[in-house]
Each structure stands twice: as C-alpha cells, then as structure tokens.
Amino acid sequence: MAEEQQTKKRSSLPAYLLTPLLLFLLTGGILVLAYSLAPVHRVQKYLNIAFMDNLKTTGTTAGLHIKENKIETEQDPAKKTYEDGKINYPTFGEQYAVLSSEAIGLTVSVYYGVNPDLLDLGACQTTQSAIIGEKGNTVIDAHVTTFFSDLAKLKPGDTVQLHTNYGAFTYQVEENITFEKNDKQYLAVTEDEVLTLYTCAPQVIGSADTRIGVRCRPVSKQFYEPAEDTEVKS
C-alpha cells in the first residue's frame, strides 16, 4: 500500500512542475495577443511622453497629463505690452494658446505636443517647432474632420491670431501650401519667424497622404511682460 502511494506521488510530480509553466505560457500568449490587437495610439501615447524634447519643464509622468488653462482672448487696450518679452514655456499636454481667425470663423485651443488624445481636444503644436513668439517655425495641426475643416478657405491676406497667457500674436497668411506626408519642407526648422498651419486633405475613405495648409508671417507681437534682459524705462 505504501509502495503504491509512493508510486502515485512520483507519477504526479511532473504534472505539478509542468502546470505552472503551462499557465505562464498561456498568460504570456494572451498578453501578446492583446498587445497586438490594442490600438497603436494607446501605446504611442506613452512613447510620446518618453521622447519629449528638452522644452518639457516638469518631471517625467506615468502617462499623459492634460493641463487646461484659462487664456484671455480679449485684451485690455490700456494694458502696456512689449514687442519683445517673456515667454512662459509649456509642458507636454498643456493647453497654452487659443488660435482664431475671423476669416473662417475659427476658434480652437492649442495644446503643446501631438497626441491622438490631444487632437480630440483641439489643435496641436509639435514639440520640435518654435514656441509661439520665438524666432523659427511654429507648426500647428488639427484634424480636417473637426477643428481645421475650413483651413483651406484661408487665403493670402487673411489674419490669424494666437493668444497665450504671456502675449498676443497676429499673423497674416502669406501662401496656401500643399505637400505630401513624407515631405518635411514646410515643417522644418527655420531661422525666420513663421507660423505653419496644416491638416490632412479631405478624403472619403482611408487616410490621406496629402497635407494642406497655410504659411503665415507675424505682423504684431504683444508680450505682457518685458524680457528679463530688457531695460524698462519709467
């Protein structure tokens, strides 16, 4: 009887050892399958956080942190402004501007960073582009099916405004642009100050490879505070 029990224990030993291994492999397979079926943009959200540029002014976060700000678009005419002034640098996911154009009835919040979740909320500025008010190419895009649906209606001579919590900036449309998805000529860094607004070309089915937009030049810069190295005369 004792020998029979010992034999049963020995025969069941491989099962005890293999069961945890089989459960581990099964769980791993399910996770791999779920990862492969998950929307890519959910994974990309955290990749965007991991590869932020050096303009991010806070510590790393566990995920996307969206910060909403109250930005005044009506200016007090009695308030003193400056042509050169202090910039408040935004963090990734922060709403830091309001973009408007009376020519097409456009008013939309601008978020710093390009991300599917942010694009659902408004227009997005790529972190590789110049901060509003700085020299360089400020690049902002939004969905053609939502906020930039009438962007192509802008024409040379129309004005565009960007209000931030550190200043108000007015631009004039210089030209309409069309380029392909992989063509970075209008998105590249520039030495002169320019505003580039773009979106996908309207397409009924699928994702468009063509981009449309406008190139704008600054005509007015009104900072609310002088630059730190600017001597303010009384």
Overall average pLDDT of the 203-231 stretch: 85
**Res. 144: pLDDT tops 90:** yes
Q: Where residue 47 falls among pLDDT bands split at 50, 70, 90?
A: very low
| Secondary structure (DSSP) of 4-21 | HHHHHHHHHHHHHHHHHH
The pLDDT score that the predictor gives to residue 6 is 54
**Res. 232: pLDDT tops 50:** no
The pLDDT score that the predictor gives to residue 57 is 33
Cβ contact 163:145 at 8 Å = no
Q: Which two tokens stand for residue 4?
A: 């029979």
Q: Which residues contact 100 (CB under 8 A, 6 or more apart)?
A: 73, 106, 107, 108, 160, 161, 163
Lowest-confidence pick of 4-8, 15-19, 56-60, 111-115: 56-60
pLDDT in tens, 60-71: 334 788 999 999
| This model's pTM is above 0.85 | no
From 3.30.43.10, 1.10.10.10, 2.40.260.10, 3.20.20.80, which CATH number describes the 40-223 domain? 2.40.260.10
Cβ contact 223:82 at 8 Å = yes
Rounded distance between C-alpha atoms, residue 193 and residue 139, angstroms? 11
